[in-house]
Structure 1
């Protein structure tokens, strides 16, 4: 298994630095303006916006798939006679499928193209939803959930890569954010519809974004970088012309992209063991660590089982409360995107993790009071603590810990290590999600209060982790980030040695 995974994710080391796919050099002369500058001087962005809108339908499907299990839990268990253990398995299998999809996503996206990978993910989603909506045996529904998870794994990698490869530098931040924003909207849609329709119909509705995505792919160009990499010169010129505008001279950009692809091909092929060399260890620790804290902070457990959490906390309108949780994600994600390049990644992450810790502590306190106090007058306090804590938790998670770890991951690794490192970090993220979702109901059965106190402790530890190990990356080139990581870690090490002495 180790060898197989190494081979699979080794393929991803050939991926480009997706943060600047059209800019192989940091500086441009007046006679050779960058893609962004030329685009802002008259090129049309209509195709870029349309292409982004089409592919984030896959992100919408991603969010819908994640949100599906929360509103349908009680109905599915009742209709199919499922035990809590069986439903926990059903919920967690999405993350198993996503791990497989994430491992294979780079190879599929390179072999079939970005659009081809999205077609494969759509087919996987459709198969999964049809199985869940039409069949009755629990093990068959588990297979359907695996198919959906596989689609999630493919889209979680392919969509950000595609958007980054077609988007000019001056628009990349805003348009890339639409990926995370669409995921939160998908979750909200699943929660809202879960209040109105039965779970089998909810599964059938999940096919609609896939149909729209596949249809839309016929009207948007393939990634020019991928076309250049596989040697499809005619299609490459057509795609680049469509993205820059029909009246724009694309010769400069075409030359830059071809030069960039040639440089990537000449880089040494990286292997997963190379990540653990001293040169890259700090980046690996930060990238993996942020994903561990993101997942072990309990976010997927809360989103998968929000309705049951509110029900256990004594909130009568638990479905409405779950919708409020999902609805809060949308504006907070957008607000976090606005703050990211102003306040910086580091302070936003610390505020986010601190707020998550406080929110989990309040939820844990509500369960503790509920279990140890017999005074019925405290019922209102329990409800306020549970609702306020969860809303605060979701709001602060969306502000920073939801999206920033993925941005940090794309910034801290050198160009020749970015693909393989991204695969490793993505795999760790989905593995952590699986661990939490498969164990969460057992944790609640052991101690609901204790479960949230643990999540609070994890998020509090994340604040210390960020403060000690993460330098600020806002407004820096990739080379400057590499240098800042080395100097930051050296200073921390010297300071720790002085304290010990």
Structure 2
């Protein structure tokens, strides 16, 4: 879609399954209507996961691209917190009604936004690209110079993606990095922890587990906003390293908490499956360690929010050459949501097989691995144009 009809129209069209999906959920009379509604909204979520970072990276100036790109994740966590908060007061039908409003606004507001200059130039529409840049940069900006720079990059690359392009280090290197970023993001266990936050807090003996989920959402919003503010100053790589270290420490501590605090025998997960945890070997706790669970969760969410939450999506939108940007971004998004499905679907089984402590220690080892991967392979993209980043992977970057 993004290569055929453009970034703008793709965003407008993805609003339709969002609206239709929530309408079906609102009108649901049986579980199959709920399934259909969720399938449609899930389809739209997948499209927006790709198109929104792409649109932002192609229209943003390099000085603010990190901040604007981080706002993608900021809006996501605002939505999560909003639903947690609304869930305290509204039933699911009213939640669906509220959730149908943002995609409706998206479809209307995108009518007034331009297509990205890079897509317009790839289609040979120089005049429209200059108009888009004047809209984005201001009437006095040197849009002709920027257009010429983008055109030169497009001319060097050729017209469209071919399988033979995978031999080009400027294509396969960023593709491997983008895919691995998405794998490691999900292997931290973030989606499993967020989806089962209430269950985790119940198992940690917090009586107000639904309120605890709102607190988790609030922490995520605050520190994702902090990440957005410092992204173009601190840089991507250092924030990924700090984030990975914080998550490794917190998941290790969470594992220690569950090892020292056996769950109640009657504790079940939300799906009704009995949590089969081997507790006979765990020692009886001598202290109330509920504070350790709370601190561990807070540190984990804080760490994820400042690095591994927003940055993989930001880097994905920055590192690919223009002619493979749609295909390569699609591969990254597919990897991300596939891993999210696998981890979330198997989280209950992991808790039973490895015990609660073992599951969190597994997540901790993955966080340690992503720190090593970041140090070894992730380039710094702060302050560089998209064309300069492409040259870095090809080994033709200037001083």
Q: Fold match, TM over 0.5?
A: yes
Distance 1:273 1:288, change over 3 A: farther
Contact 2:57 2:317 in 1 (8 A): no
Contact 1:276–1:284 under 8 Å retained in 2: no
The 5 A counterparts of 1:331-346 are: 331-346=222-237
Residues 139 and 370 from structure 1, CA distance in 2 versus in 1: closer, same or farther, beyond 3 angstroms?
farther
Q: Extract unaligned runs of 5+ from structure 2.
A: 263-278
Which among 140, 143, 158 is matched to residue 36 of structure 2? 143
- Given that 1:362 and 1:389 are in contact with CA atoms closer than 8 Å, whether structure 2 keeps it comes out as yes
Q: Is the 8 A contact 2:65 2:232 kept in 1?
A: no
Structure 1 residues 471 and 213, CA gap change in structure 2 (3 angstroms): closer
The alpha-carbon deviation at position 156 of structure 1 amounts to 1.6
Q: Which residue of 2 aligns with 1:264?
A: 154
The one of 346, 357, 365 aligned to 1:449: 357
Q: Does 1:212 align with 2:105?
A: yes
**How far is 1:205 from its partner?**
1.1
Aligned CA distance change for structure 1 residues 354 and 317 (closer, same or farther; 3 Å): same
CA contact (8 A) 1:363 1:449 kept: yes
Greater helix percent: which structure? 1
Partner of 1:286: 177
Once the two structures are superposed, the pairs formed by residues 87-486 of structure 1 within 5 Å of their partners are 105-107=1-3, 110-111=4-5, 113-230=6-123, 239-245=132-138, 248=139, 253=143, 256-257=146-147, 260-261=150-151, 264=154, 267=158, 269-272=160-163, 274-275=165-166, 280-371=171-262, 372=279, 375=284, 378=287, 380-381=288-289, 383-446=290-353, 447-476=355-384
Task: Give the Cα–Cα distance (whole angstroms) in 1 for the partners of residues 389 and 122 of structure 2.
Answer: 27
CA distance in 1, matches of 2:390, 2:131: 36
Q: Counterparts of 1:228 and 1:343 in 2: how far apart (Å)?
A: 32
The CA RMSD measured in Å over matched residues stands at: 3.1
Gaps of 5+ in 1: 1-104, 488-501
Q: Is the 8 A contact 2:261 2:285 kept in 1?
A: no
Give yes or no for contact 2:77–2:217 (8 Å, CA) kept in 1. yes
Superposed displacement of residue 199, structure 1: 1.6
Does the C-alpha gap of structure 1 residues 398 and 415 become closer, same or farther in structure 2, counting only changes over 3 Å?
A: same
Contact 1:272-1:421 at 8 Å conserved across structures: no
Change over 3 Å in CA distance of 1:294–1:391 after alignment to 2:
same
Aligned to 2:265: none
Q: Is the alpha carbon distance of 1:479 and 1:406 closer, same or farther for their aligned partners in structure 2, counting shifts above 3 Å? A: same
TM-fit CA distance, 1:291: 1.5
Residue 438 of structure 1 and its aligned partner are, at CA, apart by 1.6
- Aligned partner of residue 2 in structure 2, secondary structure: helix
**Take 1:152 and 1:118, find their aligned partners in 2: how far apart are those partners?**
11
Alpha-carbon distance between aligned partners in 2 of 1:145 and 1:287, rounded to the nearest angstrom: 27
Report how many aligned residue pairs link the two structures. 375
Moved more, 464-473 or 185-194: 464-473
